[in-house]
Chain A
Amino acid sequence: GESVGLHLPTLSVQEGDNSIINCAYSNSASDYFIWYKQESGKGPQFIIDIRSNMDKRQGQRVTVLLNKTVKHLSLQIAATQPGDSAVYFCAENIYGNNRLAFGKGNQVVVIP
């Protein structure tokens, strides 16, 4: 199969609980960060973004935290639902360069 030999970090979470996914980014010059959700067989779907002049941003049921000191990004999902089961990717972008550099995926499995 297509995922033979691939083991993504996996977070198993009970439905209704909160989830936290972490990401370490590599480039201290990055100033724009995005979290994407990828469901099986689909393209990445935008969840939330944050610019480097902020350290926290909230959306609907999601919060992104940015710690530039340690180059760390996290995504918090409140009251996780079965539809949140997917692979989550963080991506970074450097001013003046519009390409995204993606981190490794984190699989979230929601247990009903």
Chain B
Amino acid sequence: GEEVAQTPKHLVRGEGQKAKLYCAPIKGHSYVFWYQQVLKNEFKFLISFQNENVFDETGMPKERFSAKCLPNSPCSLEIQATKLEDSAVYFCASSRPGQGRDEQYFGPGTRLTVT
């Protein structure tokens, strides 16, 4: 597609429950990024993929967060045992081949609310 697609738009989970978010990058883009935005302010980088391979995971809280980009499937970000502090909007972005240093196109985000 011509736009990054993210589902669901909103997700509500009780503390301790699992949350799974999905992202379909723009067709032909080989880099996928996940960012977390809390309170409409700064974005925190979580992880990036080059095709199905993890490129940079330095932002991931590894104990509870995991992500995948498998061939012919949407990419996913999963949070096990969610905490209140995980409440945020999670954005996926994709970019063309070229070491990921081209413009990153962002999806509309998934708003996760942990209660």
Could you tell me which A residues sit within 8 Å of B by CB distance?
A: 2-3, 5-6, 8, 32, 34, 36, 38, 41-46, 49, 87, 89, 91, 93, 95, 97-105
Residue B103 at the A interface, CB < 8 A?
yes
A-B contact count (CB 8 A): 69
Could you tell me which B residues sit within 8 Å of A by CB distance?
A: 4, 31, 33, 35, 39-43, 45, 48, 55-56, 58-59, 91, 93, 95, 99-101, 103-109
A99 engages B33 (CB within 8 Å): yes
A100 engages B39 (CB within 8 Å): no
B42 engages A43 (CB within 8 Å): no
CB contacts (< 8 Å) of A89 on chain B: these are 43
CB contacts (< 8 Å) of B91 on chain A: these are 43-44
CB contacts (< 8 Å) of A6 on chain B: these are 39-41
